[in-house]
Structure 1
Amino acid sequence: MTRHTVLGIETSCDETAAAVLRLEDGKATILSEIVRSQVEAHAPYGGVVPEIAARAHADIADKVVAAALEESGLAVTDLDAIAATSGPGLIGGVMVGMMTGKAIALAAGKPFIPVNHLEGHALSPRLAEDCPFPYLLLLVSGGHCQFILVKGLGDYTRLGTTIDDAAGEAFDKLAKLLHLGFPGGPAVEKAAETGDPARYKLPRPLLERPGLDMSFAGLKTAAARIIEAEDLSEQDVADLCASYQAAIADCLAVKADRAMAGFDGERLVVAGGVAANTAIRKALDAVAARHGARLIAPPLRHCTDNAAMIALAGAERLSAGEVPADAMMFSARPRWPLDEARAMSDPAYGGGKRGAKA
C-alpha cells in the first residue's frame, strides 16, 4: 500500500489556494481545500492585473496555507511533501506560491515538488473519479486551448492548439466589450441563457483546415464589429452572447470529433476553467457519445484554478518517484508547455526569450 499526503499551493493567476490531499493506492482524498479569490480587486479593470494579483498573493499566501492545514487537522510534520505551481502563469504570482512552498519544505525538511499548472489541470478529473491513462484531453482555459494525448504521468503529446487566442480569453474579451463584468466566461454564459444562438452569423475559424489547431481572434473581431456598428438592446446582447458561445462550442466540438476519430480510446477529458461552460460540455458530450466514449470532466469547483489539482499532481509525482533532486533550485517559469519537445520544435505561437507558450 502506498500512501502520500501532500500540501498543494496554487497562485498562478488570481486565486490564492492551498489544499491538503492524500493519495492512497491511486485514490485521491481531499482533506482540506481553501481558495481565496481576487475577483473584487480586478473587477474594475475587466481583467486580471498582474501587479495587483502578485501583491494580493503575497499578502495572504501564508494565511491560506495555515487555514488549509488547520482544516485538514494535520501539521506540516504530518506531510510527505509540499507541491506548488511553478509555472506557467503570471510570473509574480507564480513566484509567491513557489517560494512559499519552498520555504515550508525547507523549514520542515520535506521534499519540494515544482508542479506544472497545466499538468494539474490535465490530472484534475482524477480528483473525483477513476480516469486511467491514456485519455484524450481538451485543456481549455483563459490562457490555453489545446488537444493533448495523455499517455501517462509526464507523458503528453500536443495534437493541436490555438494559434492565437484561447477560448477563455475570447469569452473575457466579449464580456469586457459588452460591460458584462468579470470574470467574463460565466457572465457571457449567463447572458446567453435568454439569447438566440442562431441570431448572429459568426465565423468558425479553421474548421475547414485539416488538423486540430484552433483560432479565436477572428471571432473576437467579428463580435467587436457588431458591437461597434449597432446600438444593442438587452435582447441583442443576449443573442450575441448565445451566438458567440455557440460558435466557440462548435469549433471545439468539430475539432474534438476529429481528434476522437484518430484516438483509439474510451475517454474524452475536458479540463480548465472553460470546462465549466454548460453549452460546451453538452457539445463535447455528444461528440464522445458518437465515438462510443465517455466525457469526463472535473467537478465545477475543480475546473477553475485550485490547489487540490496541484496537490494531486505532486502526490502522483511523489508516488512515481519523480521528485527532482534539484527541486529547491527550480526557477519559476512564465511559460511551461506540457509537450515541451513539440513546443520547441514546432511552436504554434509565443516564442522569444520566455520560450514557446504552446
Structure 2
Amino acid sequence: MSKEPIYILAIESSCDDTAAAVLKDECVLSNLVARQSIHEEFGGVVPELASRAHQQNIVPVVEMALRKAGVDKSKLHAIAFTQGPGLMGSLLVGSSFAKSFAMALKIPLIAVNHMQAHILAHFIDEVGFDKPTFPFLALTISGGHTQIVKVNDFFDMEIIGETTDDAVGEAFDKTAKILGFPYPGGPLIDQFAKEGNPKAYAFTKPKVEGLNFSFSGLKTQILYFIQKNVAFHPNFIEENKADICASVQNVIIQILMDKLKLAVAQTGINQIAIGGGVSANTGIRKTLKEAEEKYGWKTYIPKFEYTTDNAAMIGIVGYQKYLKQHFESASVVSKARIEF
C-alpha cells in the first residue's frame, strides 16, 4: 500500500528574492522567484527597499507557485519558511505570511535554516543528479558565507572551517565594483574569466591556519593592483578585463580547493557537495568536477536553479522536518544570525 504524498509549500525571503515552491515529497512541482531589480542602481541590496518589495511580491508569487504546481491550498500538509540568517525586514515578511497562512489552513509551520537548506538542496529528486550519502563535506559559498561543513545526517552538521572576515561572494562582488562592473558583478567576472588567461596576473593567497578562510587581504591586494596599473595606463581595465577576471577567479578557486584538500585529509571523507550562490560559478564547478579524477573524490554539484536563493531548497528541508514532526508555534521568531 503506497503512502499518501506530502505536499509542502515553501517560502524564501532572506535577502532580495521573493521565492515560493511546492514540493510533493522530495519532488519539486514548482519553484518561482521574483527578483528585485531596484537594487541595481544602488550597487547593492538596500534592506528597506527589499522588505517593501517582498510585501508586494509574496502573495502573487505564492499564488503562482500553487497554480503552476496544480495543487490547491487545501491539499497542503505544512508550510516551511526561512527563519534565518538574512535581512531581518525581509525575513519578517516571509515568516509573517507563513504563520498567517498556516494558521488559516490549520496546518503545521516549519522553520528552516537558510544555510542548511543550501546544503540539503542536494536531496531534491532530480533526474541526472545523484544524492550524497552521509557523512559528506559541504562547501557553502555565498555573498555572506564561506564554510566547510561536516554533514553527518540531515540535521547533524558541524562547521569545521569558515571565513574569519569576508565571504567569497564579497571578494567577487568587490572586485567587480573595483573594475566598474554593474551590480551584481560576480556573474560578470565569471563570464569574462572564460575568455582570459588565469595565470596572467599573480595574486598572493592568504596564509590562514587550519580550515578557515580570509578574503579581506585579497580584496585589498586586488584594489591596489588595479589602482597602480590604472595610474600608469588609464585603459588598463578595459584592455585586460578578461585576464584580470580570470586571474582573480583562479586565485579564489585555489584558496577554496586548498582548504577542501586539507578537510578531506583531516576527516577522511572524500564526498564533497557545494551549495550557495557562488556555487553557480562555472570555474568552481569545473574545477570541482575535475577533482573527481584528480583526487578520487565524489563531487556533488547542484542543479543551477538550486544554487542561488530559492524556495525549493527550503521545501526539501521542510519535508525532512515534517517526517520528524519538527514543527513550530506561531511564536517562533526570525533571526538575522542563526547557528546550525
Query: Structure 1 length normalisation: TM-score?
Result: 0.89
Amino acid in the other structure paired with 1:83: A
Matched with 1:15 is 17
Matched with 1:348 is none
1:2 deviates by: 6.5
Matched with 1:42 is 39
Contact 2:272–2:298 (Cα < 8 Å) also in 1: yes
1:292 deviates by: 2.2
1:175 deviates by: 1.1
Amino acid in the other structure paired with 2:240: D
Moved more, 132-141 or 78-87: 132-141
Contact 1:15–1:37 (Cα < 8 Å) also in 2: yes
Alignment of 1:1-358 (within 5 A): 1=3, 3-23=5-25, 28-38=26-36, 40-127=37-124, 128=126, 129-206=130-207, 209-229=208-228, 230=230, 231=234, 232-324=236-328, 327-338=329-340
1:74 deviates by: 1.2
Contact 2:78–2:110 (Cα < 8 Å) also in 1: yes
1:14 deviates by: 1.3
Contact 2:179–2:237 (Cα < 8 Å) also in 1: no
1:32 deviates by: 1.1
Amino acid in the other structure paired with 1:275: S
Cα distance in structure 2, aligned partners of 1:29 and 1:259: 32
Cα distance in structure 2, aligned partners of 1:210 and 1:36: 40
Contact 2:80–2:314 (Cα < 8 Å) also in 1: yes
1:144 deviates by: 0.3
1:248 deviates by: 0.4
Contact 1:174–1:220 (Cα < 8 Å) also in 2: yes
Moved more, 281-290 or 268-277: 281-290
1:172 deviates by: 0.8
Amino acid in the other structure paired with 1:189: D
1:201 deviates by: 1.6
Amino acid in the other structure paired with 2:7: T
1:266 deviates by: 4.4
Contact 1:256–1:284 (Cα < 8 Å) also in 2: no
Contact 1:138–1:146 (Cα < 8 Å) also in 2: yes
Cα distance in structure 2, aligned partners of 1:297 and 1:157: 20
Amino acid in the other structure paired with 1:270: I
Query: Structure 2 length normalisation: TM-score?
Result: 0.93
Moved more, 115-124 or 179-188: 179-188
Amino acid in the other structure paired with 1:269: A
Give aligned-pair identity as a percent.
Answer: 40
Contact 2:131–2:300 (Cα < 8 Å) also in 1: no
Structure 1 spans left out of the alignment, 5+ residues: 339-358
Cα distance in structure 1, aligned partners of 2:332 and 2:284: 36
Q: RMSD across aligned C-alpha pairs, in angstroms?
A: 1.4
Cα distance in structure 1, aligned partners of 2:260 and 2:67: 42
Cα distance in structure 2, aligned partners of 1:216 and 1:12: 23
